[in-house]
Amino acid sequence: MATSSSPRRHVLVVGIDGVRLDLLRTAQTPHLDAVAAAGFLVPVEIDEDTPTMSGPCWATVATGVGVARHGVHGNHFAGHPLAVFPDFATRPAQEDGRRTFVAAGWQPLLLARDGGPLFAAPARLSYVAPRADTCEDWEACDDQVTAEAVHVLGSDDPEVSFVYLGAVDETGHLLGCGAAYLSAIERTDQRLGRLLAAVRARPRYAEESWTVIAVTDHGHRDSGGHGGRSVQERTAWIASCGPGIPAGTPGRRLRFQDVAAQVYASLGRTADPHWTLEGLPFATPAPRPAAGLQAVLFDMDGTLVDTEPLGWETARAVSRALGHELTEADEPSVMGRSAADTAHHVHRITGGRAPVEEIEQDLLAGFREQVARGPRPLPGALQLLDALASDGIPLGLVSASHRSVVDLVLADLGPHRFAVTVADGETPRSKPDADPYLAAARALGVDPRSCVAVEDSPAGLASAEAAGCAVLAVPSTAAIPPAARRTVLGGLTAADPQLLRSLVAG
C-alpha cells in the first residue's frame, strides 16, 4: 500500500508486435534507446514449447505462465483456461480494485472473438479496429490507439496500462523485412515517445514511481511471416527501466513469463503462490537449486520392469512383417524410444510399405499384449522404491511408453508409489528431449537440478540430463559411460537412498 510519503506506483507496458531484434538495432529509435539506456534491452529466446505466433506469445507475456498452462497455442484462443491464469491488467483490477487500462487493435486481445479476450476485465479498455488488414490501416489504427492511451495516461490514473501496437507486424507480413519494415519500426518508436511524454506530463509525475516495459512477441523471416523456428522468428526482446531495475544487462536470461512478475513487483504486490507464476522480476537472480535431494524420477521400461526386451521383440515382429529384419544397428532408434519415434524409424527402413500411423498402432497393440501378461520388476526395484518412500522422498515415473502401457505396469508396481507419472504424448516432445522430465519436476514443484533420474537407455539419459537432473544409469542394452553428474551401476540392487542423495550433493 502506498503512504503519503511513498510514491504511487505505476506500470506502462507497451507491446510492439513482430519486431526483429537484429533489424531493430539498425533503426533510428531514440525513445526505445532511452528506455534501454536507463535500464536494459535484452533478447528473449522463445522456448521450444511456444509457437512463434502472436497468440501464445502475448498470452505468456500477459499471464506469466507458459503454453502448457494458459493453453493458447495459436492465434485462435478457443479452449483456453485463461480464467485460471488472469492477465496482469485483470488480476489487479479484480483482486485489489486497482485502476488498469488496455488499448489495442487486435480483436482477440480485447473482444470475445477468435476465442478471446486475452485481457479479460481491465478497469478500462479501448478497442480500435483497423479498417482493413493493410499497412496503412494498421498505421492509422496504431495512431488512434496511441492517442487514446495518451488521453487516458494524462486524464485517468491507471496503475497498470498495456498498449498494443501492431503496424510493424502487419508490414512484415505484407512487405517483408525491408525498408518499409524499418520505417514502420521508427514510426512505432515515435508512438512510444508520445506515450512516455504523456507519462512525464502528468500533474503529479514527480510524486509517482513509473516502470516502463516494452516487449515484442516474435520476429519475422526476411520475406515476412513467422511461425517457424529460425533464429529471426524465435528471437524476441524486452526493454525496461524504472525503480528497482538496475541499468545494465540482467544477471540471467529473461523470459516472457518475467513480464507479468515484474508488473506485480513494480506495483509492490507480492505474488500469491496460488497464482503459480512461472516468471521472476527482472532483477531477481536465477534460483539456485535447493540443497539436497528433492525427488527421484524413474524411467519404467528396462529400469524398473523387464519390458525393454518386449518392446524390442515387438518392433522386430512389426518390422519383419514389412520385410525388414532389425539388427543391433537399429537399437538406438528403438530402445527407450516412444512408439511414434520407433514407427517413423520402421517406416523409413521398410521403404514406407505401411503408413506411419498404422505401424505405430501395431507397435502399441503388440507391446500392450506382451506387457499384459505381467511385467517382472527388475531386481532391487521394489526395494529401492520402498526405501525412498520410507525416507519421505517424492517419486515420479517418467516413461516413453503410451499411457495404456504405463497403467498396465503401474497396476503391478503399485500406482500409490508415485506422486506423478508422465507417459508418451503427455508433453510436447518425448524422450530424448527434456520435456518429460521437466514436466514431472514441475508437477512435483521441485527443481530438476535437485532431482535424480534413474535411466537405462541413451535416449532416456539424454532427456534427463537435458532437463538438468543428476542421473543414476543402470544400462539394459547399450553401454553408458560415467560422466559429470552421472553414476553408472550394474543394477538397482546396489542403489540406496544415501547413494542417490550423494549424487545431488556432489
Catalytic positions are 299, 301
Cα–Cα distance, 344 to 292 (Å, whole number): 40
Q: How far apart are the first and last CA of the chain?
A: 44
Helix, strand, coil share of the chain (percent; to 5): 45, 15, 45
Residue 156 phi, psi (nearest 5): -105, -175
Pairing of strands 235-241, 40-45: antiparallel
C-alpha cell at 267: 506495483
Pairing of strands 235-241, 208-215: antiparallel
Residue 401: CA atoms inside 13 Å, Cβ hemisphere, count? 29
The one-character DSSP state at 453 is: E
Q: By the 8 A CB rule, do 221 and 229 touch?
A: no
Q: How far is CA 403 from the centre of its chain?
A: 23
Residue 297 phi, psi (nearest 5): -115, 115
Pairing of strands 295-298, 395-398: parallel
3-state SS, residue 370? helix
3-state SS, residue 473? strand
Q: What is the DSSP string of 219-280?
A: ---TTS---S--HHHHEEEEEEEBTTB-SS--SS---THHHHHHHHHHTT-PPPGGG-----
Residue 123: CA atoms inside 13 Å, Cβ hemisphere, count? 18
The one-character DSSP state at 375 is: P
Q: Which residue has the cell 522404491?
A: 385
Cis before 122 (ω within 30): no
